[in-house]
Amino acid sequence: METPIIQPKKIVYSGIQPSGTLTLGNYIGALRNFNRFPEDEYQCLYCVVDMHAITVRQDPAALRKRCLELAGIYIASGLDPKKNVLYCQSHVSGHAELMWILNCFTYMGELNRMTQFKDKSAKHADNINAGLFTYPVLMAADILLFNTSVVPIGADQKQHLELARDIAQRFNGIYGDVFTVPEGRFGKVGARVMSLQEPTRKMSKSDPEDTYIALLDPPDVIRRKIKRAVTDSDAEIRFDPENKPGVSNLLSIIAALTDQTPEQAAAELQGQGYGKLKERVTDCVIATLEPLQSEHKRLMADKGYVQGILDENAEIANRMATKMLRKVQRKVGFAERGRR
């Protein structure tokens, strides 16, 4: 009887910065999708990317606190830390080591074309540092370090993923089949949640507080923010992003949280007015976030437990990273290491 061939699991990699408050957009576009990879097919790594965070000046104590809180949000969102590798980026030195090598295979012209560098430079004109310019290479290192096959990302990160793919293909073209060339996994309905006050712009945690719903906002704050959300003077509820961006954004939120299409959400609210639309959005958001908030509060009451998870998972991530890093170092000709 032939022994069945066991296929290795595909690697899924994703990271979120612990810089500022996570929003409903982060939940809909990323967090809620992390549990949708069957564990018999995928090995998933979810990273608190604190190295990326320091491209903008951070308060050290606040950053450390947010790292732990973000780990708690990962778990409260439903990620099982025994089945997924949940760790802090700075705890795995392979990220920085591989980034240096990949810097030498990345062209200045490629980095000059990165639109997020231009956007962040405009927002932080007093601190246009080299890390801000080269952090797409660190993102490529994050991904390629683990032989990642699938990267769940939003549309705004597509350019960075394309750069990671280009770097992998360039390196493979010189040294052979070293890196897996990753594919993006993009969200469907509601993957791009827009600002409540400027619905032509993405909801962002770096914008004024009233423009976004934070994952840990209490119900009264959620209710107030949605009540003040921009709509328009036309009382008709219909999904029309070009002509009715505010109304369409609210319909997209309902759709994303109820597994409907925006058109179905609009049909259910026909003739009921914007007040009812906002009530419906509020009910959906509160019902979704209350269980997460309750679990997060429980986890943060036992920070030692969360820290233990990060420590344990960092060891796993380090073992995985070292295997790839040593392969790459040998390919580029670095000196042999003695066995210790």
Catalytic hit among 9, 10, 65, 205: 205
Whether 225 is a known active-site residue: answer no
Angstrom distance (rounded) from CA 224 to CA 206: 19
Angstrom distance (rounded) from CA 208 to CA 245: 19
Inter-CA distances, 339 with 254, 336, Å: 57, 9
Torsion of CA 276, 278, 284, 286, to 10 degrees: -120
Contacting residues for 22 by C-beta, under 8 A, at least 6 apart: 16, 31, 70, 73, 205, 214, 215, 216
Whether 120 is a known active-site residue: answer yes
* Structure-block tokens of residue 23: 């929003």
Are 142 and 153 a contacting pair, CB within 8 Å?
no
Q: Is the dihedral of CA 168, 171, 176, 179 positive or negative?
A: negative
Angstrom distance (rounded) from CA 280 to CA 113: 41
Residue type at 87?
A: Y
Contacting residues for 55 by C-beta, under 8 A, at least 6 apart: 120, 129, 131, 132, 135
Whether 202 is a known active-site residue: answer yes
Angstrom distance (rounded) from CA 106 to CA 15: 21
User: Active-site positions?
Assistant: 120, 202, 205
